[in-house]
Structure 1
Amino acid sequence: MTIEQTIASAFKMDEETWARHANPWSVWTRNTVLPILILAFWSRAWLGLWSLVLIAVAVLWTWINPRFFPRPESTENWASKAVLGERFWLNRKEMPVPERHRRAPKILSACSGAGMLCVIWGVYALEVWPTLFGAAVVYLSKLWFLDRMVWLYEDMNDCYVRPPSTPSQ
């Protein structure tokens, strides 16, 4: 099982949840998760143990977000294609992805992970600059990753979802 599959499994991402998460509103509001988590954990400096309430709300929003919005009316948009491409990426062991799509997502995920380490350190130490720098790295990496997932989706969709085209004679 890949790291991505482990995370999806932890979030109980079933077929219906993935379909709902393909709604562009879900994708774009998902970008609120990191700042909300940062503020919730940072609030320990102001609220003490009461910060646990905000942390619980932030974690709950992280879990609810992919389930909150209805299935999209159309998946012919960047955000939906990014989610659908992520599905191909998650299942790359069962349905291999083209060679040209194998390296960049791993590098971008590693960059995002490094950014997250900066965020964690910054929040732990209550230091603004490492937190902001880490968040910028996380967002840049994640959005670039999603853009690669759109490309992957379009390539895989042509190969596996649509019937092969008949060569013209």
Structure 2
Amino acid sequence: MFTRAGAGDRLVDRYFWSGHANPWSVWAFVAAYLTLVLAIYRRNRTLLTEVLPLVAINPLVAPEPADDSAWATRVVFGERIWLEQGTLRSTNTLFTAASAPVFLFMLKSAVERRSLRTGVGTVASIVLMLAFFRRMARLYETQTDR
């Protein structure tokens, strides 16, 4: 299904994409995102240094999903298709670029310890993240006639 063929790409497939497509891995990333926001807001270096390695090893330890029945798996497969198609002229890229200011607003608010702004920015960024996930799942489903 995916067109990558080089040896380096096979390693990325084996050690990143295959585990990242596991629903557990996807939802662990979402939880880690929320934890990172909290760590930044609280200036909790311990929490930050505990979560970052988990984010890094998450796709390496998660098993490859057996099939594409889980929505989160289809999200990751759609992301792979999007990246393989070339992202510069894509509406998904425009969506991502348009969402970036919300993520930056949330990050700035957390750094400045503005609780209301951090909360609003976090909720807005999660909504945008889930909207992006929806777009990626749909891309996969339309490309595979699912």
Do both share a fold (TM > 0.5)? yes
What TM-score, normalized by structure 1, do the two folds share? 0.70
The 3-state SS of whatever aligns with 2:85 is coil
RMSD across aligned C-alpha pairs, in angstroms? 2.0
5+ residue gaps in structure 2? 1-10
Aligned 8 A contact 1:108 1:144 in 2? no
Aligned sequence identity (%): 30
What SS is found at the alignment partner of 1:91? helix
Q: Is the 8 A contact 1:111 1:138 kept in 2?
A: no
Corresponding residue number in structure 2 for 1:148: 135
Aligned residue runs from structure 1 range 3-152, under 5 A: 14-16=12-14, 17-44=16-43, 51-93=44-86, 102-103=90-91, 105-152=92-139
Structure 1 stretches of 4+ moved >4 Å: none
Q: Which one has the largest radius of gyration?
A: 1
Task: Indicate conservation of the 8 Å contact 1:108/1:141, yes or no.
Answer: no
2 CA distance for matches of 1:108 and 1:142?
10
Q: What is the TM-score normalised by the length of structure 2? A: 0.80
Does structure 1 conserve the Cα–Cα contact (< 8 Å) formed by 2:21 and 2:77? Answer: yes
- Higher relative CO (Cα under 8 Å, sequence separation at least 6) belongs to 2
Shift of 1:111: 4.0
